[in-house]
């Protein structure tokens, strides 16, 4: 697959960019890894999903541990979320393989564009404020443990199905249901992502949907980026970073959509 050094460098830089962004503001490297594999390297979407989860596993392990060492990670919800999330991530991976590739490409393209537009619109904090003002989450807060199990199962399934590491969605859940501050939520969700992404990636790997070379090179870049991003997370305004990353993701999503149409 890697017939020149330029492709290897691009793969490393893609992992580096994804790892840096997720290490700083949570989320997933999927918007970076899947377009690279399907558009640039010509892999199937199934291989892209499995490889993306492997990269997210590296990011979650590196960045999550750094947040934990800095006192910005909580173990108990990680255990609850990981148990339900791991089970349904494996289930989602089998559903993913059974879904027509064209349907998966359409779904991923739409998710990329939507996710990018959300970041452009206001970044992390502004969207949190919007949800607080417009949604009544009292029941979820009163049944926090059950909410963690239900959302862990749902997000785990989506992770295995689409290749999204799920850290971003879990961050929002921890803020609103558990009442964690933003950085503690990010650290905790990254630790959780390590387990869920690992389960989905391994499951896809057993089904042959895994590109080892990309996982190694992009994973190395993602590990470096995740470490650097998490170390500097407290110095970066997520809302300033969000629109920039959002614009990049929208462009990638449009490119992915064009690839689907062609």
Return the closest-CA partner of residue 205 out of 8, 53, 99, 62.
53
Distance CA(17)–CA(224), nearest Å, equals: 10
| Within a domain: 1 | no
Q: Residue range 4-9: average pLDDT?
A: 85
**Whole domain around residue 154: which residue ranges?**
8-261
pLDDT tens digits, one per residue of 33-70: 888 888 888 888 899 999 999 999 999 999 888 888 88
Q: Which two three-digit tokens encode residue 142?
A: 């009163």
pLDDT value for 28:
82
d(CA 72, CA 211): 33
Does the residue 3 lie in any domain? no
Residue 239 lies in a domain: yes
Kindly state the percentage of the chain with pLDDT values over 90: 20
Specify the number of domains making up the chain: 1
Residue with tokens 């993306």: 52
**Of 31-40, 89-98, 240-249, which range is least confident?**
240-249
Residue with tokens 């559903």: 95
Q: Within a domain: residue 194?
A: yes
More confident site: 235 or 36: 36
Element (H, E) at 193: helix 182-206
Query: Mean pLDDT over residues 87-109, rounded?
Result: 84
197 within a domain of the structure (yes/no) = yes
- Of 97, 90, 93, which is closest to residue 44 (Cα–Cα)? 97
232 domain residue, yes or no? yes
pTM of the model: 0.82
Per-residue pLDDT averaged across 214-242, rounded? 80
Q: Quote the CA–CA distance of 40 and 202 in Å, as a whole number.
A: 24
pLDDT for residue 237: 62
User: Is 146 among the domain residues?
Assistant: yes
In a domain, 68, yes or no: yes
The dihedral built from the CA positions of residue 205, 206, 209 and 213, taken in this order, carries a sign that is positive
């Amino acid at each position: 697959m890697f017939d020149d050094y330029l492709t290897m460098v691009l793969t490393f830089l893609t992992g580096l960019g994804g790892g840096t962004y997720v290490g700083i503001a949570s989320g997933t490297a999927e918007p970076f890894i899947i377009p690279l594999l399907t558009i640039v390297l010509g892999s199937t979407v199934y291989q892209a999903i499995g490889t993306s989860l492997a990269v997210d596993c590296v990011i979650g392990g590196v960045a999550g541990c750094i947040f934990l060492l800095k006192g910005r990670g909580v173990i108990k919800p990680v255990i609850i979320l990981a148990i339900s999330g791991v089970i349904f991530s494996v289930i989602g991976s089998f559903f993913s393989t059974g879904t027509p590739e064209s349907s998966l490409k359409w779904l991923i393209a739409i998710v990329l564009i939507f996710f990018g537009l959300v970041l452009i619109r206001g970044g992390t904090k502004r969207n949190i404020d919007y949800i607080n003002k417009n949604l009544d989450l009292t029941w979820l807060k009163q049944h926090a443990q059950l909410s963690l199990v239900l959302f862990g199962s749902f997000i785990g399934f989506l992770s295995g199905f689409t290749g999204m590491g799920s850290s971003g969605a879990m961050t929002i859940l921890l803020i609103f249901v558990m009442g964690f501050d933003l950085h503690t939520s990010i650290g905790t969700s990254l630790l959780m992502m390590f387990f869920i992404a690992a389960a989905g990636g391994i499951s896809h790997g057993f089904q042959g949907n895994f590109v080892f070379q990309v996982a190694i090179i992009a994973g190395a870049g993602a590990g470096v980026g995740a470490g650097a991003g998490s170390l500097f997370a407290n110095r970066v305004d997520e809302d300033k970073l969000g629109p920039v990353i959002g614009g990049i993701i929208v462009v990638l999503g449009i490119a992915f959509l064009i690839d689907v149409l062609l």
